[in-house]
Amino acid sequence: MTAVHHPSLADLTTTAVGGPVNTYVRAETEEEIVAAVRAADQTGERLLVVGGGSNLLAGDAGFDGTVVHIASQGIQVDHASDCAGTLLTVAAGHSWDDVVAWTVENERVGIESLSGIPGTTGATPVQNVGAYGQEVSQTIARVSVYDREAGRRTSFAFADLHFAYRDSYLKRTTVDGSPRFVVLAVHFQFTHGELSKPVRYAQLAQHLGIELNQRAPLADVRQAVLDLRAGKGMVLAPQDRDTYSTGSFFTNPIVSDDVIDSLVPANAPRFPVVDASGEPVQGSTKLSAAWLIDNAGFGKGFGLPGSRNERLGIDGADVAGGRASLSTKHTLALSNRGEARAEDMASLARVVRDGVHQVFGVELVPEPVLVGLSL
């Protein structure tokens, strides 16, 4: 366990904004994570848990407590048989995309569409990460945690995690990046096979040249997802400013079927809402936040010098001096163009959120965890 003083939250997060931290502890084993969290709790210091920092937007004033950086590593097969499948335990700090790559190479089915999502495995159950028709909850059997309130280790079975769209009990008990439950390891259950789960995302099926709900070889699905994501600036790339982001900045809003037609025109994309096991939920529909942003007049690159929202009469460069903009590849990502501060990112987020509300009456809700910052 290494304690270093005064690194910056900008160094620890993919948006590369955020001020200094008081105490920084890099924890490389479960024991080190528990010890670091206990030590911070005993002194009464505020605690911020950081994995890959890819879903965190931290304020310019920084963090006056302890940041515990989760860096534990390891993938372990607990059980493997053709009828029960594979039970896999992954340490919280292990790179998520390495886990996906492992499952594809070893013919374990269920997370191939979650390829290319940055960050750590321990963070995936927190917001129930999802993409291209899959959610991580569909393969999680159990999550091992340290309960800060009780001061002991425990574990949650799938049903007790109350997974929902970009949400879980773990997220609902996290305040300002300070979780009650610190994830130590995630336990997955996978079936075996060479083919993917049925592909439920039209653009992905089209890219693979298959019909919706058909299966494709695991490696093909992974590659297709990586290709699609790269085209949208949704895979981290140091040379690409569009990727200095938190990925999608707003969740796709879920609206009641009773009011949907009064909010958006018939041609607005609509997606079914599914529960934690992938079953459709009746009575409400998910809208595309990217479409709402675009159709409220905020095009790709809005915020850069020369960009303008004609519909609402806003010059992009007036929002944050050109330092923060929508990605030039995707309207849903807010990016740091090089010199942005957290307040620049927040100004852009506010203008986009308020503009969408003005045009469509739909409230966009931020997806990343905001620390020391509010919109």
- The reply to whether 166 belongs to the active site is yes
Quick one: 230 or 263, whose CB is closer to ligand FAD? 230
Residue closer to ligand FAD (CB basis): 57 or 205: 57
Please pick, from the candidates 21, 30, 51, 341, the single residue that binds ligand FAD as defined by CB under 6 A. Answer: 51
Q: Using only the alpha carbons of the chain, give its radius of gyration.
A: 21
Element (H, E) at 134: strand 134-135
Instruction: Scan residues 168-197 and list those touching ligand FAD (CB under 6 A).
Output: 174, 177, 179, 182-183
Structure tokens at 226: 């990586």
Query: Which one of residues 66, 246, 325, 328 is an interface residue with ligand FAD (CB under 6 A)?
Result: 246
What residues from 256 to 285 belong to the interface with ligand FAD (CB under 6 A)?
none
| Binding residue (CB under 6 A) for ligand FAD from 9, 123, 204, 320 | 123
With binding defined as CB under 6 A, does residue 129 bind ligand FAD? yes
Q: Which residue has the tokens 């915020």?
A: 303
Quote the strand ranges of 14-54, DSSP E. 21-27, 47-50
In whole angstroms, the minimum distance from the beta carbon of 298 to ligand FAD comes to 19
Q: What's the CA dihedral at 232, 234, 235, 237 to 10 degrees?
A: 80
Residue from 108, 142, 148, 166 carrying the catalytic annotation: 166
8-state DSSP, 78 = E
User: What is the CB neighbour count within 10 angstroms for residue 358?
Assistant: 12
What character string, x for contact with ligand FAD (CB under 6 A) and - otherwise, covers 346-375? Answer: -----------------------x------
Residue 75, H or E segment: strand 75-81
CB-based burial label for 114 (10 Å; 0-12, 13-18, 19+): buried
Q: Does 119 bind ligand FAD (CB under 6 A)?
A: yes
User: Beta-carbon neighbour count of residue 291 at 10 Å?
Assistant: 18
CA-to-CA distance for 300 and 183, rounded, in angstroms?
A: 36
- Those residues whose C-beta lies under 8 Å from the C-beta of residue 27, and which sit 6 or more positions away, are 1, 33, 35, 36, 68, 69, 70, 71, 72, 93
Complex with ligand FAD: residue 57 or 218, whichever CB lies closer? 57
Give yes or no: 248 in active site.
yes
Cβ closer to ligand FAD: 160 or 194? 160
Burial letters for 315-344: b for 16+ Cβ neighbours within 10 Å, e otherwise?
A: ebbebbebbbbbbbbbbbbbbbbeebbbbb
**86 counts as binding ligand FAD under rule CB under 6 A:** no
**Per CB under 6 A, does 27 bind ligand FAD?**
no
Residue type, 24: Y
Indicate whether 56 belongs to the interface with ligand FAD (CB under 6 A): yes
- What is the smallest separation between the CB atom of 152 and ligand FAD, expressed in angstroms? 15
Q: Which stretch binds ligand FAD (CB under 6 A): 124-132, 213-221, 251-259, 317-325?
A: 124-132
Range list of H helices, 310-372 = 316-320, 342-360
Q: How far apart are the first and last CA of the chain?
A: 35
One of 70, 210, 296, 364 touching ligand FAD (CB under 6 A): 70
Q: Smallest distance from the beta carbon of 276 to ligand FAD, in angstroms?
A: 14
- The least CB distance from residue 134 to ligand FAD, in Å, is 10
Position among 23, 124, 335, 336 found at the interface with ligand FAD (CB under 6 A): 124
Which residues are paired to 143 by β-bridges? 156, 186
Q: Are strands 270-274 and 334-336 parallel, antiparallel or unpaired?
A: unpaired
Between residues 80 and 141, which has the closer beta carbon with respect to ligand FAD? 141
Q: Rounded to the nearest whole angstrom, what is the least distance from the CB of residue 24 to ligand FAD in the complex?
A: 13
Size of interface with ligand FAD, in residues (CB under 6 A): 35
Which positions are annotated as active-site residues?
A: 166, 248, 367
